[in-house]
Structure 1
Amino acid sequence: MSTTWFITGTSSGFGRLLTERLLARGDRVAATLRRPEALTDLRARYGDRLWLAQLDVTDPEQVQRVVTEAFETLGGIDVIVSNAGHGVFASVEETSDEQIRRVIDTNLLGSIRVIRAALPHLRAQGRGRILQVSSAGGQTTYPNFSYYHASKWGIEGFCETAAREIAPFGIGLTIVEPGATPTGFGSALEAAPIMPEYENTPAAEVRRALADGSFDLPNDPQKIADAMINLVDSGETPLRLPLGSDTYDDVRASLVARLAEHDAHRAVAFSVTRDDLTRPEPAFEAGDQTAS
């Protein structure tokens, strides 16, 4: 039995790969993108199994209209993939207010809009899956990506809350966290005028690594697309799906470091409890690490 998917940001990268693979195996895809002509080759090959619509996720009214139209036209949608994204590559001072707004409006607000627009329809069905594409940068950070991280950490917080709220309706939500992958996303990053003050900082080191090609991109985009499809096929609904050895290693190191710092402040954390309350005993002693 075929599955019906709704995917944003399908002109390139993971969105395009997912669309190609799903159509090739017989599924139906509602593919949305800013320039629908970018998928005319797939439309010619697969006909009505590919439903195309122009969509800019920064336009709230358009998001509502397109999502509703897709559900009504296709008679229901099984999987929503919120994939459209934008990036700005610059230090915190170099980035303009306009660039900041664009990345937040696309990655954070745009993703929220897509999920919120889909939820009434998924609730009415009594079932459905949502895949929110984030990145390793939704749990850890790298220099020169501060505003990208702001958007990805934000959408992960939103999705973690939403997943608990919508589970009683039979709707599963998974945050997908790909690592560094050669999808063309890097070449599409917005840049900003370079401030010489940051020349001898980690921001400049990462900028040079991207420029000279030494920034490692260890992951296979086709394998990542397949892993996302396999997750849906399996019926499993983990909250997060790390994809890439770099994602696994970097996020784990970040979590371990954060937990160690968190534990180091145990005494001061408990010290501010009101005097009229009994202070609870901690579940573990400071320095007790269960992760190795």
Structure 2
Amino acid sequence: MTARTWLITGVSSGFGHALTTQLLERGDRVIGTVRDTGKVADLVTQYPDHFRAEILDVTDTAAVRAVVDGAFAAGRVDVIVSNAGYGLFGAAEEITDAQVDHIIATNLTGSITFIRAALPHLRAQGGGRIVQMSTYGGQVAFPGNSMYHATKWGIEGFAESVAQEVAPFGIGVTIVEPGGARTEFRTGSAQIADPMGAYDGNPAHAFQAMLDPAAAPAPGDPQRMAARIIESADTDPAPLRMVLGSQALDSTLGVLRKRIDGFEAQRDLAASTDFPAGE
């Protein structure tokens, strides 16, 4: 198998780290972005010829473009993975304006900027693959996750549109929708809004049970999930969406079936707003 070069955001933990370690172990090259190179010092030492760490805060638009341009200036990049992001829990009313701005800048605008910066390079080299990390929460919505869902539903719409635009250039796009996995998402990067007493006992605070250290661990294995993502780079045509985790797939299918039933029930209503035939 020919070694590939991957550009991945957010490789210090979670899926980004799992992807990076597996890729390096099999001989691929990785340019990984972090906010602290100390967290990947072991990879820098162990794989000096195959791993390069770049400091990047994806909310810095100019820096995102500079890192992407620099990666492609060094040679062909076969796969870009937009992975950096985090969760924000709390009722919509509990979330501050600053928290809204930051999660949008990170999860949505940062991902959009990263992909847009790579597109001219991917076109110029005659193709490549874009992997956008999302979540089954890009299709399924839970209370207490409104802004996280807003960013993931938004990036999925962006990526699905872009997939159609760039297919003629030989560029494939895959949206990855993992279910709960045993990463640091719950206990490390996740942020929690200051609670309001009015929401005590409200579904918006159901996430507290999930974040409880005594709660059952998530069912998803991040190493197996990373392996499936890596394998997807060899699939042609690129799968538009990949749901990882049986619980995630069951939940997604259930929600989509209810959504379709709701739309089907509106056929007469929808038709009632058309001009009569012949007018």
Q: So what's the TM-score if we normalise by structure 1?
A: 0.92
Could you give the per-residue CA deviations for residues 97-124 of structure 1, whole angstroms, max 9, x where no partner exists? 1111111111110000000000000000
Secondary structure of the structure 2 residue equivalent to 1:115 = helix
1:66-81 alignment, distance < 5 Å: 66-73=67-74, 75-81=75-81
Separation of aligned partners in 1, 2:215 and 2:257: 27
Report deviation, 1:234: 3.5
Residue 271 of structure 1 aligns with which residue? 272
Kept in 2, the 8 Å contact 1:108–1:154? The answer is: yes
- Give distance in 1, aligned partners of 2:206 and 2:50: 46
Q: CA deviation at 1:29?
A: 0.4
**What is the total number of aligned residue pairs between the two structures?**
277
User: Given the alignment of the two structures, is residue 111 of structure 1 paired with residue 111 of structure 2, yes or no?
Assistant: yes
Residue 166 of structure 2 aligns with which residue?
A: 166
Match in the other structure for 1:4: 5
Residue-by-residue CA offset, 1:31-80 (whole Å, 9 max, x unaligned):
1111122111111111121121111111110011110001112x110000
Aligned counterpart, 1:281: none
Please identify, of 232-241 and 44-53, the stretch whose mean Cα deviation from structure 2 is larger: 232-241
In the other structure, the counterpart of 1:138 is: 138
Say if 1:144 and 1:207, in contact at 8 Å, map to a contact too.
Answer: no
- Computed over aligned residues only, the root mean square deviation of the Cα atoms, in angstroms, reads 1.3
The offset of 1:216, in angstroms, is: 5.5
Checking the alignment, whether the CA contact within 8 Å between 2:24 and 2:47 is kept in structure 1 is: yes
Whether the aligned pair in 2 keeps the contact of 1:206 and 1:215 (CA below 8 Å) is no
Letter in 1 for 2:182: P
Distance in 1 between residues matched to 2:217 and 2:92, nearest whole Å: 23
The CA deviation at 1:277 is: 4.4
Q: Distance in 1 between matches of 2:241 and 2:227?
A: 16
Name the % identity: 48
SS of 1:234's equivalent in the other structure is coil
Task: Note the C-alpha offset of 1:215.
Answer: 5.8
Does the 8 Å CA contact 2:163/2:172 hold for their aligned counterparts?
A: yes
Structure 2 unaligned residues grouped into runs of 5+: none
1: CA distance between counterparts of 2:205 and 2:199?
6
Find the counterpart in structure 1 of residue 194 from structure 2. Answer: 193
Give structure 1 stretches of 5+ with no counterpart: 279-292
Question: Residues 137-184 of structure 1, C-alpha deviation per residue, up to 9 Å, x if partnerless?
Answer: 100011211100000000000001000000000000000001011101
Q: 1 CA distance for matches of 2:179 and 2:215?
A: 16
Summarize the Cα distance change of 1:39–1:277 in structure 2 as closer, same or farther, 3 Å threshold: farther
Structure 1 position 274, deviation (Å) = 1.5
Contact 2:232 2:239 in 1 (8 A): no
User: What amino acid does structure 2 have at the position aligned with 1:233?
Assistant: D
- Equivalent residue number for residue 50 of structure 2: 49
Q: How much does 1:220 deviate? A: 0.5
Residue 95 of structure 1 aligns with an amino acid whose one-letter code is I
Is 1:101 aligned to residue 101 of structure 2?
A: yes
SS at 2:211 equivalent: helix
